[in-house]
């Protein structure tokens, strides 16, 4: 069993992650379809419906993550992160690291094994949210802790994305 603060912190952080990812795709749908096309994993006729489906799944995961149906949201989120991880690895093995990740981060950041590893970590952390929680009630300090953890992890995630994108840009600049 895990403390409810840990489970809620993870779930709230992933609400932000999936919602922000979906909003980014909604803001520029043609870019997202182009990014999907670059992966060369889907037939052209499936690109648009896949793009819409991914956005709806991300929004659904973000919405359900803080409801009693969070177990299903976590599993769907893990599945989605696993698909993203698989798509990255397939293209890295094809020597197609130059394509835009399509991740929530800097556009044009490309693919790297670090990004794949980051997704593996995200997937693993998200799985912790399905571990049953202890029955202890939440105190006011717990809510403060949850907000602090979400802010800290979001800041860390954005910082890591910035470093990964800068690393790729420096490699292409020196090449």
Residue 108: pLDDT above 90? Answer: no
Residue 156 confidence class, pLDDT cut points 50, 70, 90: very high
Domain range for 106? 4-174
Region 60-64 average pLDDT: 98
The stretch 6-22 carries a mean pLDDT of 97
Among the residue ranges 64-68, 82-86, 91-95, 164-168, the one predicted with the least confidence is: 164-168
For the segment 82-99, the average pLDDT, to the nearest whole number, is: 95
- Average pLDDT for the chain: 92
Band of pLDDT at residue 100, cut at 50, 70 and 90: confident
Q: What is the pLDDT of residue 153?
A: 95
pLDDT at 165: 73
Q: Is the pLDDT of residue 47 over 60?
A: yes
d(CA 46, CA 113) in angstroms, rounded, equals 27
pLDDT at 86 over 70: yes
pLDDT at 140 over 90: yes
pLDDT above 90 for 63:
yes
115-146 burial: b if 16+ Cβ within 10 Å, else e = bbebbeebbeebeebbeeeeeeeeeeebeebb
Per-residue pLDDT at 162: 82
**pLDDT the model gives residue 171:** 62
Q: Distance between terminal CA atoms of the chain? A: 50
Q: How many CA atoms lie within 13 A of 51 on its CB side?
A: 23
Tell me the average pLDDT across 37-41: 96
Number of domains in the chain: 1
């Amino acid at each position: 069993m895990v403390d409810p603060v840990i489970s809620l912190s993870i779930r709230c952080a992933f609400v932000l992650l999936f919602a922000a990812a979906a909003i980014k795709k909604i803001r520029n749908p043609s870019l997202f379809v182009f990014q999907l096309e670059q992966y060369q994993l889907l037939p052209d006729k499936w690109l648009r419906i896949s793009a819409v489906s991914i956005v709806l799944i991300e929004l659904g995961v973000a919405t359900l993550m803080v409801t009693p149906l969070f177990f299903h949201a976590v599993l769907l989120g893990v599945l989605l992160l696993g698909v993203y991880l698989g798509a990255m690895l397939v293209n890295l093995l094809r020597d197609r690291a130059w394509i835009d990740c399509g991740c929530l981060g800097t556009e044009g950041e490309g693919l790297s094994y670090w990004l794949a590893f980051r997704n593996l970590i995200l997937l693993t952390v998200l799985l912790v949210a399905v571990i049953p929680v202890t029955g202890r009630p939440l105190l006011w300090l717990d809510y403060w802790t949850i907000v602090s953890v979400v802010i800290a992890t979001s800041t860390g995630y954005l910082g890591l994305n910035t470093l990964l994108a800068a690393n790729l840009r420096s490699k292409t600049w020196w090449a």
